[in-house]
A and B are shown apart, each in its own frame.
Chain A
Amino acid sequence: MTTSATSIVVSRSLSARGRDWRGLAFQALLLFSLLLALSVLAVLITDVFTRGWPILQERGADFLTSPLSTRPAAAGIGQGIMGTVLIAIFTALFAFPIGVMTAVYLEEYAVDNRLTRLITVNIRNLAGVPSVVYGLLGLAVFVPLMAGLMGGTGRNVVTASITLSVLVLPIVIITASEALRAVPQTLREGGYGVGASRWDVTRRLVLPAAGPGILTGTVLSLSRALGETAPLVVIGASATFFSTGNQSFLESLFGSFTALPMIVFGWSTRPQDEFRALTAAAIVALLVVTLFANAVAILLRNKYERTW
């Protein structure tokens, strides 16, 4: 065959199948699904922003610092921000050490037998329990406990934090376990090979290596805790009004409290029209907090990401 004849045959066979219609259709379907999901999000954000923007624009810093009030013109989310920040701190304080240590035990120390697997399965189940159930746990156990210990009603930001840390504990354990499992076995072997004990290997090699993953998982689970509303409702965060008066900081820790999700919930049920805009503005604030927490998680992960 001559060269040109060969090339014609080759060229025909190479383009014989024509366009891959099924492939293109599938791609279009994927794109459509993505756009659908994004558009729902876009509608939500646009709606909230347009409704809430006037409040933020008119009252600005005043809105962010004012306490709760039954009068729309004076109501602000200052106490809510304070409550959310305190919840973030205390939840991290309670959930992080216990969760990470549990994960370390399960991954590094526990023998792989039926009991361990039972525990692991149950932890995963707990991660899926509805948050209102945790709220009821908080109401039934932690509120009376706190009331007994510190006096007062027992319905305070510390109780809420304890409840929320129980809520996110399974997630912390699961993400920390994943991070520990991702540490290559060769690293541990290298440690054992120079006469390190299991504690040495865990503390000096495995934990530092799994650190970034554990940290990211903790921050993500924290951002989940900050958005939970049901436990706050059940425990009794304030949605209308409370005053800290002349309390010291410590006293206010164990007194009435509120948090951003609670404010959103509370204001959304108010009859006055003005509260619609206020609710939207509060939602914007809550979104900012959540996005901020997630951004921190992503930044931390990117900063400490390393290749083996």
Chain B
Amino acid sequence: MSQSTLSPRAPEDPVALRIERSASADEPLDGPAAERTTVVSLQEISFYYGAFRAVKDISIDIPSRQISALIGPSGCGKSTLLRTINRMNDLIPGTRLEGRLLYHGQDIYAGDVDPVEVRRRIGMVFQKPNPFPKSIYDNVAFGPRINGFDGNLDELVEDSLRRAALWDEVKDKLRQSGLALSGGQQQRLCIARAIATQPDVILMDEPCSALDPRATLQIEELMAELKRSYTIVIVTHNMQQAARASDTTVFMTMDDDRSGYVVEQGVTMEIFTNPKNQLTEDYVSGRFG
């Protein structure tokens, strides 16, 4: 079967973006020799909260099936930038985006694009685990149900929970409330919930900052597994986490006018051992931030 493809959108086609997931989507790509495609491309993105420009002229490419980390000091706009990728910021009134945000080559901020469709394909996991006040099963099944999934829901729920490394711990208590789990389990449940809609990209906004070290390690191991099937973009405050868990790193910082900009983007190893920019060097060696 073919790679995940986006059927070409002719000018007269109606709204939806269509993506077919393929069986080979789960096979690990080869190492550096394999061709890395770009799945999300930000081109000269500036984002405004009212009159305040939170991030300016961001141009980065998110490679497919890799973990890309966004690092930088507090308040530089990392989370804001992350949330633009799946149009979560649309929920905040008075916000505006300039520039182009391409997902498989399509501008997702174009007038006729449905943000709901975007969020189905670009899922999100939040900083503080927020499972729904429903059973574990219903948490995972929520996304597929509202998107009209008519296949075997039990299978999909089990598959998602397995991929999130949670199945063994909850398989005999699927009807219990999702809120009864521990913090780390709740976060994995949220990951399973995001996976259940069979997304392409998973955005994670500091997913481990509310968890203890052991749970953090579990999530990082999970991410390493997940990147075989999904593209992951993670915002993290934890430099060590970025260094050990990610493939690509984007370093952002805040300018004098308090808007964030990208200082440097590159392979993680390079950013941390041989950065090109002095600011990057200062940040990763702990001199500020």
**Chain A contact residues, CB within 8 Å of chain B:** 111-112, 186-197, 200, 204-205, 208-209, 306, 308
The residues of A that contact B91 with a CB separation of less than 8 Å are 188-189, 192
Instruction: Verify if B228 is at the interface (C-beta below 8 Å from A).
Output: no
3 tightest Cβ-Cβ pairs between the two chains A and B: A195-B120, A194-B143, A193-B124
Residue of B86, B116, B179 near A196 (CB, 8 A) is B116
Q: What mask results when residues 87 to 107 of chain B are scored 1 for a CB within 8 Å of chain A, else 0?
A: 010010100000000000000
Chain B contacts of A192 at CB under 8 A? 88, 91, 119
With A192-B119, A193-B119, A193-B126 already in contact, the answer to whether A187 and B88 are too (CB < 8 A) is no
| A195→B202 CA distance, assembly (Å) | 12
CB distance from B221 to the nearest CB of A (A): 23
The reply to whether the CB of B49 lies closer than 8 angstroms to some CB of chain A is no
Chain A residue with Cβ nearest B195: A194
B133→A194 contact, CB < 8 A: no
Q: Closest CB of chain B to A197's CB: distance in Å?
A: 5
Closest to A112 in B: B93
Known: A187-B132, A205-B132. A194 touches B126 (CB 8 A): no
Contacts of B121 in A (CB 8 A): 195
What chain B residues lie within 8 Å of A306 (beta carbons)? 133
Check B130–A194 contact: CB distance below 8 A: no
Expressed in whole angstroms, the Cα–Cα distance for A191 and B64 within the complex equals 25
Question: Interface code B65-90, partner A: CB below 8 Å = 1, 0 otherwise?
Answer: 00000000000000000000010100
Residues of A within 8 Å of B179, CB to CB, are: 308
Give the docked Cα–Cα distance between A121 and B19 (Å). 47
- A191 vs B145: C-alpha distance in the bound complex, in angstroms? 12
A196 to B86 alpha-carbon distance, docked (Å): 13
- Shortest Cβ distance from residue A210 to the other chain B in the assembled complex, whole angstroms: 11
In the complex, whether B123 has a CB less than 8 A from a CB of chain A is: yes
Which B residues touch A200, using CB under 8 A?
146
A190 near B133 with CB under 8 A, answer no
**Are B93 and A195 neighbours in the complex by a CB distance under 8 Å?**
no
B146 touches A186 (CB 8 A): no
In angstroms, Cα B179 to Cα A209, docked, is: 14
- The 8 A CB mask of B116-144 against A (1 = contact, 0 = none) is 11111101111010111100000000110
**B86 (CB) vs chain A CBs: closest residue:** A193
In the complex the two chains form, is B133's CB within 8 Å of A209's CB? Answer: yes
Is B226 at the interface (CB under 8 A from chain A)? no
Query: B142 touching A204 by the CB < 8 A rule?
Result: yes
Most interface-central of A186, A192, A195, A196 (chain B CB within 10 A): A195
A142–B63 CA distance with the chains assembled, in angstroms: 67
Given contacts A187-B130, A189-B88, A204-B146, contact A194 B196 (CB under 8 A): yes
B190 interface residue (CB < 8 Å to A): yes
- Inter-subunit contact A189/B194 (CB<8 Å): no
- On chain B, the residues within 8 Å of A112 by CB distance are 93
Determine if B123 and A193 form an interchain contact, defined as CB atoms under 8 angstroms apart: yes
CB distance from B148 to the nearest CB of A (A): 11
| Bound Cα distance from A205 to B142, whole angstroms | 10
The winner among A111, A196, A204, A308 for most chain B CB atoms within 10 A is: A196
Cα distance A111–B116 when bound, in Å?
19
At the interface, yes or no: B280 with Cβ under 8 Å from chain A? no
Are the C-beta atoms of A189 and B132 separated by less than 8 Å? no
Which A residues touch B130, using CB under 8 A?
A: 186-187, 189-190
Q: How far is the CA of A193 from the CA of B119 in the complex (A)?
A: 6
| Cβ–Cβ contact A194 & B93, under 8 A | no
CB pair B197–A194 under 8 Å, yes or no, is: yes
Which residues of chain A are within 8 angstroms of B93 by Cβ–Cβ distance?
111-112
| A208 cross-chain contacts in B, Cβ below 8 A | 133
Give the nearest-CB partner of A195 in chain B. Answer: B120
Cβ A186 vs Cβ B117 within 8 A: no
Query: Which residues of chain B are near A197, meaning CB under 8 Å?
Result: 116, 146
Distance in angstroms from A107 CB to nearest chain B CB is 14
> A198 → chain B, closest Cβ, in Å?
9
Q: Is the CB of B147 closer than 8 A to any CB of chain A?
A: yes
Contact residues in B for A187 (Cβ distance below 8 Å):
130, 132-133
A10 to B120, alpha carbons, bound, how many Å? 66
Contact of B190 among A190, A196, A205, A209 (CB under 8 A): A190
Q: Supply 13 A–B pairs (Cβ within 8 Å), ascending by A.
A: A186-B126, A186-B128, A189-B91, A190-B130, A190-B190, A193-B86, A194-B123, A194-B197, A195-B118, A195-B119, A195-B143, A195-B147, A205-B132
With a 10 A CB-CB cut-off, give which of B93, B119, B196 has the most chain A CB atoms. B119
Verify if B227 is at the interface (C-beta below 8 Å from A).
no
Partner of B146, one of A193, A195, A209: A195
Q: Which residue of B lies closest to A193 (CB)?
A: B124
A116, chain B: closest CB distance, angstroms? 11
Whether the Cβ atoms of B128 and A195 lie closer than 8 Å is: no
- On chain A, the residues within 8 Å of B120 by CB distance are 194-195
**Chain B residues, CB < 8 A from A191:** 132, 142
Compute how far the CA of A308 lies from the CA of B186 in the bound complex, rounded to whole angstroms: 13
A209 to B132, CA, bound (A): 10
Chain A residues near B118: list those with CB within 8 A: 195
Which of A194, A200, A205 has the most chain B CB atoms inside 10 A of its CB? A194
- Tell me if B193 is interfacial: C-beta within 8 Å of chain A: yes
A194 with B88: CB separation less than 8 A: no
Closest approach, in angstroms, between the C-beta of B71 and any C-beta of chain A? Answer: 22
Report how far A96 CA is from B194 CA in the complex, Å. 35
